[in-house]
Amino acid sequence: MIPFLDLQREYQNIQAELEPVVQRVLASGQYILGDEVRVFELRWAKYCGVRYGAMVASGTDGLTLALEASEAIHSGAGDEVITAAHGSPYTALAILRAGARPVFADIDAKTWLASPETIEPAITPRTRAIIPVHLYGLVSDMAGIMRLARDRNLVVIEDACQAHGARFQDRGQWRKAGSLGDAAAFSFYPTKNLGCFGDAGFIATDDEEWMNRARMLAQGGQHERDHTLSAGHNSRGDELQAAILNCKLAHLDEWNDRRRKLAGLYRQRLKLPGICFQQVPEAVEPVYHLFVVRHPQRDALRAYLRERGIEALIHYPEAVHLQPAFLQPGQPALAEAERVAAEVLSLPLHPCLSDTQAEEVADTINEFAAVRV
């Protein structure tokens, strides 16, 4: 059996480091917004190359709060925020939660991400913000998207929930995901490249006032204790999760290197006719949160793998603009996003996967050519 993920094994590998840290927090009597959260906020902001960071309760909250704190949206006024039609529905959910209307951009056929060319046709006089999603760990064309946004006075919030440590080269300089827009959100959901043992998220920005507003909104909208200035959220940083993240952060670069090595192995060894990969632009160093292939017989291929003890998942089986919560009358077809949803298959990839296991996955996929109808 080759499981898609092996979080228990990852835990066992660093158990000796983690358990004393968790014990220390349990004994401290401080469980919310304490020293561990403060230290993690400083460390993660520094790692990403931004000045300010706030830990919140989830990636969805990070996106919602970053959008609300931008002051670009007037809740309920019909303001529009553009995001990619292929990806996690939580991005669109955050836009709705912030009181705006999600508008969907198609994806590029090579990178499978929304691009300046696919975003531009979605812009209307009501557009206020763009949320590019660095899907599967591949950074969007942030140079092009920022140019598009600056020309039209739009706010850009990166959805970096799948891109911890991924880099983008702009004017000769490599910069990390999370430092490339006006603000960014991360998720530390357990399966992420940097994941905790529950839910947690993050807002990153260089804008001090934006950060102050986001922090206030994350703490109930209270300007000072028990004095509520605006309708905020309960989205406070959790000490246990921060302590775990402080510990795991030391391993992130090594784990991302391992993911890149396994992705290289898959790219080189997979030969099945009709299989294709997400194209990595020269200006991007991805972190392979997921290793996703496309194949016209995706469902048959997945069943074939399952019969041979290999677990493959689908991220994501339905384009976001077609899901009932987001579907709008007159929604235009978004051809590439609709096509990709029927073809994507995520292969096992995590830092504990061995070369031998990845080779077995690739060889089994290659054999599918001989049996398919």
Ligand X SMILES: Cc1ncc(COP(=O)(O)O)c(C=O)c1O
Q: Which is nearer to ligand X, 87 or 351 (CB)?
A: 87
Q: How many CA atoms lie within 13 A of 353 on its CB side?
A: 30
159 contributes a contact to ligand X by CB under 6 A: yes
Shortest distance, CB of residue 87 to ligand X, whole angstroms? 5
Q: How many residues bind ligand X (CB under 6 A)?
A: 15
Closest CA to 130 of 109, 151, 148, 143: 148
Cβ proximity to ligand X, 132 vs 365, nearer residue: 132
Residues 121-140 as x/- pattern, contact with ligand X by CB under 6 A: ------------x-------
Any contact of residue 187 with ligand X (CB under 6 A)? yes
Q: Of residues 212-231, which lie at the interface with ligand X (CB under 6 A)?
A: none
State how beta strands 80-84 and 127-131 pair: parallel
**Binding ligand X by CB under 6 A: which of 52, 90, 291, 316?**
90
Q: Mark 35-74 with x for binding to ligand X (rule: CB under 6 A) and - for no binding.
A: -----------------------xxx--------------
Strand pairing category for 173-176 and 127-131: unpaired
Distances in Å between the alpha carbon of 341 and those of 103, 117, 259, 298, 309? Answer: 18, 20, 23, 10, 24
Nearer to ligand X, 79 or 159 (CB): 159
Using the rule CB under 6 A, is 351 a contact of ligand X?
no
Of 88 and 364, nearer to ligand X (C-beta) is 88
The secondary structure of 5-25 as a DSSP string is --HHHHHHHHHHHHHHHHHHH
- Of 47, 189, 266, 288, the residue at the interface with ligand X (CB under 6 A) is 189
Calculate the dihedral angle through the C-alpha atoms of 350, 356, 359, 365, rounding to the nearest 10 degrees: -80
Q: Residue 169, SS3?
A: strand
Which is it for strands 127-131 and 155-159: parallel, antiparallel or unpaired?
parallel
CB nearer to ligand X: pick between 25 and 160 = 160
Q: Which residue is nearest to ligand X (CB)?
A: 59
DSSP code for 369? H
Binding site for ligand X (CB under 6 A): 58-60, 87-88, 90-91, 133, 159, 161-162, 187, 189, 199, 201
